[in-house]
Amino acid sequence: MNYLGSKSYLAMIPEVTAGVALKPTTFCPLVSESIKSMLNYNADRRMKGLDWKSDDLLLGDRKHEGDIVIYSDGDNLGHLLNMTYLKGSTTGDSDGYTHPFTVGSPKSYTIEIQKGPYAQRYFGVKADQLKLEFVDQKMQVTASVKATGQFSASALKEALSGSVTSLKLSSAYDLKPTAGLVAGDVITVVGDDGNGVDLTLLTVDADGETLTFASTAITGAIGNRVYLKAQTPSYTGIVDPFFLGDTLIGVGADSTSATTNAGAKSTATGMYSFAFTLKNNLLDASASGSKDPLQLLPQTREAEVTTRRLFETPEQHLAWLNSTKQAITMISTGEEMTTAGTHESLSVKFHKVKLTTNEENLEVDSLIFDTQTFEVLYDSSDGSAIEISLVNKTAGTAY
Amino acid sequence: MKNKYKNISNLDLFVPQVGLVKAGEEVLTEVDINNSNFEKVEKVKITPPKELITEDKNKLN
């Protein structure tokens, strides 16, 4: 049997305790996904009397990382921001919740990605990097995430026969193979007849290998497959992403003036492309106690903005030459949420940016553009580098 | 075989191949919904109380 990627989902839930998995309940349509576990197997090079390189592989430091790409609508963007930056107190009501995000410790998530019949679940997930860009009008966000572990598939450690209420998973992958599973999960055990038997977990034993469930008749040999059954996705009304056409970008000498300029089309700067990348530089080193990264901790934060706008005066060239402080505010207005006229919105303030490159390349028949890269700097006078405010339909408790 | 599921979340949810299920509502579907926002509603066999089971006096033997 073959499976279509288009039927897959991304499901997310913020964890109460970082690294302790929960069953994801928020489903988000993916554009693409490339998260993978790197087991870093190496050939076993011990001298075993062979004239061949090796007869086995040995595990190295395990890592779990990759990209999630989605279209940036207000509700789902909130989760990706929440795994990148620190959410402050949410205000508002069901007519529009306002969530402020500032540079700080992000929430850790459990995420799940469907691969045909099974789901790949990653826990302890945080964003190492978040890139927002406009692709053919649509705001697209790429979260480069890392995780502290995964559960997807395992094997029976002991044979099952007749009516059983528990099973043990093989420790071939990890000494605690049930990490990532929670009560309420549905797992599929492939019986000796080749048919899968679905089991809803009642408990995940503290021994790290035993799972219990209601009495079920299964006949299965040691090594038979056991996998996390993919959920049936459910969506809370898939809304349009933010569009470049509904985005105003203000540039000014400081954040106040940039925000004022972003307030109207007449004062905003028309950007032919606009993208920014927020980086957390997560520490993901291995440490005692876990074959996976023990924990994911943000280190030095940094960010970069890239823009393309029409060249009109040598102003930006001079700003680059003289390393002049500028500020940028982006305000994107999204779908109308209420008949009262409240819209989803995303406001991002870069308090202090300076040009690292400003190219004015010439091409035959073409107008000259300023193609720019800004380093986002900490503004000591404002006491901030970046401020983000998101208005959507999702209550603060969901984050 | 159809199963009944209840949307136990406080959100209206769209389920592919099932449709929109409003918060708190139940849906009868052939799709096996494995989703933590939904709870399977077990079928309860209703047996009328004994005193209500009366012999049909008009039945011809």
Q: What is the predicted pLDDT for the residue at A257?
A: 98
- In this prediction, residues A133-160 reach a mean pLDDT of 97
Of A7, A14, A273, A25, which Cα lies nearest the Cα of A116?
Answer: A7
Q: How far apart are CA A369 and CA A363, in angstroms?
A: 10
Using alpha carbons, select from A115, A35, A20, A95 the residue that is nearest to residue A68: A35
| Closest to A395 measured CA to CA, from A107, A106, A96 | A96
Interface of A with B (CB under 8 A): 7, 23-25, 184, 186, 198, 229-238
Instruction: Please determine, for residue A32, whether its predicted confidence score (pLDDT) is greater than 90.
Output: yes
> How many other CB atoms are found less than 10 A from the CB of residue A1?
4
* Of the partner residues A230, A234, A237, the one whose CB lies closest to the CB of residue B37: A234
pLDDT at A100 over 90: yes
pLDDT in tens, A238-260: 889 999 999 999 999 999 999 99
Nearest to A236 by CA among A388, A16, A9: A9
pLDDT classification of A83: cutoffs 50, 70, 90? very high
Which of the residues A232, A235, A238 would you substitute to probe the B interface, choosing the one with the greatest number of B C-beta atoms within 10 Å?
Answer: A232
Over residues A325-329, mean pLDDT = 98
Q: What angle do CA A298, A32, A233 make, to 5 degrees?
A: 95
Nearest-5° angle of CA A26, CA A29, CA A31? 140
C-beta atoms of A231 and B13 within 8 A? no
Q: Is A116 left (phi over 0), alpha (psi -120 to 50) or beta?
A: left
- Does the pLDDT at position B44 exceed 60? no
DSSP codes of every residue in B16-30: TTTEEE-TT-EEEES
* pTM check: above 0.90: yes
The Cα of A365 is separated from the nearest Cα of chain B by a number of Å equal to 50
Band of residue B53 on the pLDDT scale cut at 50, 70, 90: low
Name the DSSP letter for residue A105. P
Instruction: Give the pLDDT band of residue A180 (cuts 50, 70, 90).
Output: very high
Q: Region B36-61: what's the mean pLDDT? A: 67
- State whether B13 and A238 contact (CB < 8 Å): no
Q: Per-residue pLDDT for B47 more than 70?
A: no
Helix, strand, coil abundance in chain A, percent, nearest 5: 10, 50, 45
Q: Is the pLDDT of residue B57 over 70?
A: no
- Which residues have a Cβ under 8 Å from the Cβ of B22 and sit 6 or more positions away? B7, B12
- Which amino acid, one-letter code, is at A383? G
State the pLDDT confidence band at A391, using cuts at 50, 70 and 90: very high
Report how far residue B59's alpha carbon sits from residue B61's, in angstroms, rounded to the nearest whole number: 6
Cα torsion A238, A244, A250, A256 to 10°: value is 0
Residues of chain B contacting A396 with CB distance shorter than 8 Å: none
Residue A356 is inside which H or E element, if any? strand A343-359
Nearest CA of chain B to the CA of A275: how many Å? 32
The pLDDT of residue A308 is 97
Is residue A69's pLDDT more than 90? yes
The answer to whether A392 and A75 are in contact (CB under 8 A) is: yes
pLDDT at A296: 97
pLDDT at A86 over 80: yes
Provide the residue type at A110 as one letter.
T
- For A284-317, the pLDDT digits (tens) are 999 999 999 999 999 999 999 999 999 999 999 9
Q: Which residues of A touch B34 (CB under 8 A)?
A: 186, 198, 229-232
Q: Rounded to a whole number, what is the distance in Å from the CA of B18 to chain A's nearest CA?
A: 10
DSSP string computed for A212-245: EEEEEE--B-TT-EEEEBPPPP-BS--PPPPBGG
**8 Å CB contact between A257 and A327:** yes
What is d(CA A298, CA A188) in angstroms, rounded to the nearest whole number? 36
Q: Closest Cα of chain B to A124: distance in Å?
A: 20
Residues in CB range of A266: below 8 A, 6 or more apart: none
Q: Strand A96-102 relative to strand A86-87: parallel, antiparallel, unpaired?
A: antiparallel
State percent of chain A over pLDDT 90. 95
**C-beta separation of A277 from A131 below 8 A:** yes
Summarize the confidence of residues A154-167 as an average pLDDT.
97
d(Cα A273, Cα A133) in Å, to the nearest integer? 8
Residues of B with Cβ-Cβ distance to A117 under 8 angstroms: none
Determine the Cα–Cα distance for residues A368 and A348; give it in Å rounded to an integer.
Answer: 27
Q: Does residue A197 contact residue A170 with C-beta atoms inside 8 Å?
A: no
- pLDDT at site A269: 97
ipTM (interface pTM): 0.81
DSSP letter (8 states) at residue A76: H
